[in-house]
Amino acid sequence: MHTSDEQLHHLLERELRAAVAARIEDGAEAGEVTADLVRRLRRIGELRSGPPGPGADGSSAAG
């Protein structure tokens, strides 16, 4: 039985793989796609190191 993390990982990886394959099929170069993935990876890193969300101080998050 898969855990929710494994489910999530599997889902995201599958979608990423499909998206990359579609872009390659559309004529994108492999190196260009790889560079794009690296850019996204770095942006995710910035999201993680960003400021705390609005609920971090104990207040409830808005709708």
Partner 1 sequence: MPGGARTYFPATALTSIFFGSPRRDDRATFDIEEWNVDSSEVRRLARRGELTGRVGAAPADERRRLRVEATEVVWPLVYQRVTRAAERARGHHRCASAVQRLAPECLDRFHDDVEAVVDDLFAHADLPIANLEGWLTMRMPKAVIEGYRKRRGRRGAPQRPRIPIWLATGLHDDPWLVELAKVVLDWAGVDATAGASLWPLTRWAELRLRRTGDVAADEATVAAEVEVVLTAMRRRRAWYEKNVERPLGRKQAPVWFATPADAGYAEPDPLHLVEPYERDDALLSELAGRAIDAMTEQIGRGRRVEDVVTEVLGTVFGAVPDSYELDRLPGADPPGPGHVVALIGDPDRLERVIAAVVGILRGRSGGGGGPSEGR
* Contact pick of 7, 25, 27, 29 for partner 1 (by CB under 8 A): 7
Least separation in angstroms between CB 41 and partner 1? 5
* Contact pick of 1, 25, 27, 48 for partner 1 (by CB under 8 A): 48
If binding is defined by CB under 8 A, does position 21 make contact with partner 1?
Answer: no
Q: Give the C-alpha separation, 61 to 53, whole Å.
A: 9
User: Angle 26-28-29 (CA atoms, 0-180°, nearest 5)?
Assistant: 145
Number of H helices, E strands in the chain: 2, 0
Interface contacts to partner 1, rule CB under 8 A: 4-5, 7-9, 11-13, 15-17, 19-20, 23, 30, 33-34, 36-45, 47-48, 52-56, 58-63
